[in-house]
Amino acid sequence: MSELPIDLLAVSMLSPLLAPRLQASFTVHDRLHELDPAAFRLVAPRIRAIAAGGESRVSAELIGQLPALELIAVMGVGYDGIDVAAAKSRGIQVTHTPGVLNDEVADLTLGLMLSAARQIPAADRYVRDGKWASQGAMPLTRKMSGARLGIVGMGRIGQGIARRAVAFEMVISYTARSAKADLPWRFFETPEELAAASDFLVVITPGGNDTRHLINAAVLNALGPEGILVNVARGSVVDEEALITALETGRLGGAALDVFATEPHVPERLRLLPHVILTPHIGSATAQTRQSMADLTFGNLEAYFAGKPLLTPVPECRF
Ligand code: 8YV
C-alpha cells in the first residue's frame, strides 16, 4: 500500500467481514455520495477506489464524478449494476469474486428445488398450526428424483447445480449462449424449448440488459401447470409480472425465488401465494462463503495498490 491512506468510497453497506479490514488500510467514505452529497463533492477528487456489492449500482454518472478513480472492487460474482463499459473507457479496473460462492449458490438451489417440490416450508407450517392433529395427513406433493431439470445459464454455478442434480438422477438439459462440447447434458437453443422439456427450470445466468426478461410469459407457459421455476440469478432475468400472473392463474405449477425485480421489496401478490418459496437473496449468505468473498475483495484491492496483478478481474467479454 502507498504511504497516505487511499480514499475509498463504499457504495453500499459494507459486509462486517470486510469493513474492519478496509478501515484499517483505507480512508473509507461510507455511502457518502448518498448520505452527504456536499461532503462527497469535497472528497470526490481524491477517491481512488470503490468497494461495491453484487447488487450495487455504479453508474457512468458516478464514475464521471470521480476523476482519480482507478479500481472498482465488487464483493459478489455478479456485477450487472456496474457500468463496466464506462469504467473500462477510463482505464478503471473492475474486480469481482467468482469461484468462491459456486458451492453455496448450487447448494441453495437444490434446497429450493426440494422445498418447492416437497413443500417443506408449508409442511413445517402444517405441523406448527396444529393441522396434522386436526386435519390428518398433508396433501401429497411431487417427486424430484428422476425429474427433468432445465438450467438457464451453464457457467460455473450452473455446472455445480447440474453435478448435484446428477445425484438425484435428474434428466439434465440446459441453454446458454452456445453448447458446451465438454458437457454431457442436452443443449437447447432457447429458454422456451428448454422449458417445454423440463419439470424444473433453474435460472442461473448473469443479470443485465442481455438477459432482461429472458424468462417471459411464453417460457412460463412452456414450463406449464406442473412446472416449477427456480430463480437464483437476478430478479431482472424473469418478467416478475408475467410470473405472478402465471402462478395466480395456475398456468405455472410453482416457484422458488431467491431474487426479485426490486429488492428488498417483494410484491404482495407474490407473498400471498402460499406454495411459492421466497428467500431474501441468500445464495451466498453463509459465514464461510461471505468470509471467502470478503477476503477476495480485499485481496484485489491490496494487490492493485501494491502494483501486483489483480486476482480476479471481470472478464473482458462476459459470455
Ligand atoms: C450477494 C450476489 O448478495 O455474488 C453475487 O452476485 O448476488 C450475492 O452473492 C452479494 O454480492 C453480496 O455482496
- Non-local (6+) Cβ contacts of 118 within 8 A are 141, 142, 144
- Non-local (6+) Cβ contacts of 309 within 8 A are 303
User: Order of strands across the sheet with 148-152?
Assistant: 186-187, 171-175, 148-152, 200-203, 228-231, 254-257, 277-278
Strands (E) in 139-280, as ranges, are 148-152, 171-175, 186-187, 200-203, 228-231, 254-257, 277-278
Nearest residue (CA) to ligand 1, atom 10: 54
Residue 3 reports pLDDT greater than 70: no
Nearest residue (CA) to ligand 1, atom 4: 76
Contact 29, 10 (CB under 8 A): yes
Which residues constitute the domain of residue 178?
Answer: 102-278
Instruction: Confirm whether 70 is domain-assigned.
Output: yes
Per-residue pLDDT, 277:
98
Nearest residue (CA) to ligand 1, atom 13: 53
281 is catalytic: yes
Task: Based on the fold, state whether residues 48 and 83 are members of the same structural domain.
Answer: yes
Instruction: Confirm whether 242 is domain-assigned.
Output: yes
Task: Based on the fold, state whether residues 237 and 146 are members of the same structural domain.
Answer: yes
Q: Is the CB of 82 under 6 A from ligand 1?
A: no
Task: Based on the fold, state whether residues 170 and 84 are members of the same structural domain.
Answer: no
Write down the mean pLDDT value for the chain: 97
271 is catalytic: no
Task: Based on the fold, state whether residues 131 and 147 are members of the same structural domain.
Answer: yes
Task: Based on the fold, state whether residues 114 and 253 are members of the same structural domain.
Answer: yes
Instruction: Confirm whether 313 is domain-assigned.
Output: yes
Q: Is the CB of 75 under 6 A from ligand 1?
A: yes
The ligand 1 atom nearest the CA atom of 284: 9
pLDDT per position as a tens digit, 257-306: 999 999 999 999 999 998 899 999 999 999 999 999 999 999 999 999 99
Q: How confident is the model at residue 319 (pLDDT cuts 50, 70, 90)?
A: very low
Per-residue pLDDT, 4:
72
Q: Is the CB of 206 under 6 A from ligand 1?
A: no
Instruction: Confirm whether 1 is domain-assigned.
Output: no
Contact 273, 294 (CB under 8 A): no
Task: Based on the fold, state whether residues 144 and 231 are members of the same structural domain.
Answer: yes
Task: Based on the fold, state whether residues 269 and 217 are members of the same structural domain.
Answer: yes
34 is catalytic: no
Per-residue pLDDT, 2:
52
Task: Based on the fold, state whether residues 37 and 52 are members of the same structural domain.
Answer: yes
Task: Based on the fold, state whether residues 176 and 270 are members of the same structural domain.
Answer: yes
Instruction: Confirm whether 45 is domain-assigned.
Output: yes
Instruction: Confirm whether 283 is domain-assigned.
Output: no
Q: Is the CB of 257 under 6 A from ligand 1?
A: no
**Total domains, the chain:** 2
CATH number for the domain that contains residue 34: 3.40.50.720
pLDDT per position as a tens digit, 29-82: 999 999 999 999 999 999 999 999 999 999 999 999 999 999 999 999 999 999
Task: Based on the fold, state whether residues 126 and 249 are members of the same structural domain.
Answer: yes
Task: Based on the fold, state whether residues 33 and 122 are members of the same structural domain.
Answer: no
Scored b (16 or more CB within 10 A) or e, 16-45 reads ebbbebbeebbebbbebbeeeeeebeebbe
Q: How confident is the model at residue 318 (pLDDT cuts 50, 70, 90)?
A: very low
Annotated active-site residue in 34, 169, 226, 263: 263
Task: Based on the fold, state whether residues 162 and 241 are members of the same structural domain.
Answer: yes
